[in-house]
Amino acid sequence: MADSFFNSRWVDAPAQATEVSTGELPLGFRAAGVAAGIKPSGNKDIALIVSDVPETTSAARFSRSGAQSAPVLVTRQRTELHAIRAIIVNSGNANAATGNRGLDDAAKMQGGAAIVAGVSEANVAIASTGVIGVPLPIDKVIKGIAEAGRQLRSDGGADFAEAIRTTDAFAKNVSLEVALSTGTARLSVQAKGAGMISPNFATLLVFAQTDAKLDADEADLLLSVCTKRSFDRISVDGQLSTSDTIILQASGASGVSIEPETEDEKIFGEALDAALRQIALMVARDGEGARRTGRVLVRGGEQQGVERVAHAVADSPLVKTALYGGDPNWGRIIQAVGAALPGTAPLSVDITIEGIPVCVAGAVVNHDTEALKQAVQGSEIEYEITLPGEGAETERYFSDLGHEYITINADYTT
């Protein structure tokens, strides 16, 4: 399984799904990625994906930032989010904090993509990622859209994935065949997003396609559940991008239909869930020089309490630097727990690191410190925290905080 896309111990590979050549899209979809000169590097920076099926359904999620980028604002306001046929993406410029000109430019991208894709503007979503506060070079973008339209291909998924990347250290895309009761459905996902990387490039973009037939409501339900279990559970540096966008499209071209509350829904949902969770982990793990990924599992009596503790631990720069350094210092964990639950002292909390209990009922317990030190040297470290009471539980994945974050973020200049 070493070569499997599902290479985290925290994600089970879906039982009835097979990995196929990445780049191969589900039936009905074509995609392309081209270089339009937005990135100074000359790398691919315009990505287009189109469903040729008029009945295509979709669901979408966006950053809730108060400073949403122009493409997010325009897509939310003008696109039929349950019927997205085409998605036009540029990298190298976020088109954020760009005022009315930014809104006009986003509308031009939507219009251009509608023409080359042969669909209505209302069926086109827009996404941009890159530097904030700089107007788009819209002429280059429009030429790039025209070129992307000429290069659309059914195996264009890899080019598409390449063109949405900014500083991701590795590609994040997968194509699966999922065996359902009435036939095989394909599912592909392309994503970009890297923790601990220059913030102008930290945006999360996730595009998933399937040729299964899904009601728009069903697509929305599946995307909602899977997003909550994946991207809503990662802490990179506690920051929220202006541009985060997640879109699921279903062409129905396979003829395989997925109905609510069936075994097929469960199987397909597990495949989507596993793919998005694996990609979320990849986002937490990405970043030049990132060494380790953490998972914090919190149990207790109140959902609000376990969520606050999970956030506090996962976002703590002290916990993150300890993770980076392979430091078993659990004092940082209890400090984060205490800070998340002010006014509750003395708090009875249990802490286990990689299965080794270090703190019981709020106080240190004897443990093999050498074994603990060895246990935190791996690439995935698990922290279990138990608060008083029972019934609530959550988890959160997080990246470490190391010298590369400082180097990239302090020495990067707009």
Based on CB atoms, which residue is closest to a copy of itself, 95 or 110? 95
Bond preceding residue 346 cis, omega within 30 of 0: yes
Which residue number, 37 or 135, has a Cβ lying nearer to a copy of itself?
135
C-beta of 57 vs 93, nearer to a copy of itself: 93
Set 203, 210, 293, 352: catalytic member:
203
Full 3-state SS string of 105-172:
HHHHHHHHHHHHHCCCHHHEEEEEEEECCCCCCHHHHHHHHHHHHHCCECCCHHHHHHHHCCCCCCCE
Query: And the tokens for 314?
Result: 């996962």
Rg of the chain (C-alpha set): 22
Q: In terms of Cα–Cα distance, which of 185, 323, 358, 311 is closest to 258?
A: 185
- Residues 161/190, Cβ–Cβ less than 8 Å: yes
Cβ burial of 37 (10 Å; 0-12, 13-18, 19+) is middle
Residues 254, 298 contacting (CB under 8 angstroms): no
- Give the closest residue to 75 by CA, choosing from 84, 66, 67: 84
Buried b (16+ CB within 10 A) or exposed e, 151-173: ebeeebbbbbbbbbbbbbeebbb
Tokens of residue 113, six digits: 């993509």
Least CB distance to a copy of itself at residue 98 (A) = 6
HSE of 90, CA atoms in CB hemisphere, 13 A: 33
Minimum gap (Å) between residue 133 Cβ and a copy of itself: 4
**166 flagged as catalytic:** no
Q: State how far the Cα of 220 lies from the Cα of 122, in Å rounded to an integer.
A: 18
Residue 158 or 381: the one with the smaller Cβ distance to a copy of itself is: 381
**Taking the complex as a whole, how short is the minimal distance between the CB of residue 227 and a copy of itself, in angstroms?**
15
CB of 112 to a copy of itself, least distance (A): 23
- Nearer residue to a copy of itself within complex by CB, 26 or 193: 193
Please report how close the Cβ of residue 20 comes to a copy of itself at its closest, in angstroms.
Answer: 37
**Which residue is it, tokens 């008083």?**
388
* Cβ proximity to a copy of itself, 69 vs 190, nearer residue: 69
- 250: amino acid identity, one letter: A
Residue 262 or residue 407: which is nearer to a copy of itself going by CB? 407
Q: Nearest approach, Cβ of 6 to a copy of itself (angstroms)? A: 29
d(CA 78, CA 90): 18
In the complex, what is the shortest distance from the CB of residue 356 to a copy of itself, in angstroms, rounded to a whole number? 14
Comparing CB distances to a copy of itself, the nearer of 120 and 409 is 409
Q: Quick check: 81 and 60 in contact, CB under 8 A? A: yes
Least separation in angstroms between CB 259 and a copy of itself: 34
Tokens 């630097």 locate to 321
Instruction: Quickly count: other Cβ atoms within 10 Å of residue 176's Cβ.
Output: 26
Dist. CA 284–CA 237, nearest whole Å = 9
Structure-token pair, residue 120: 């209505």
Catalytic amino acids? Answer: 203
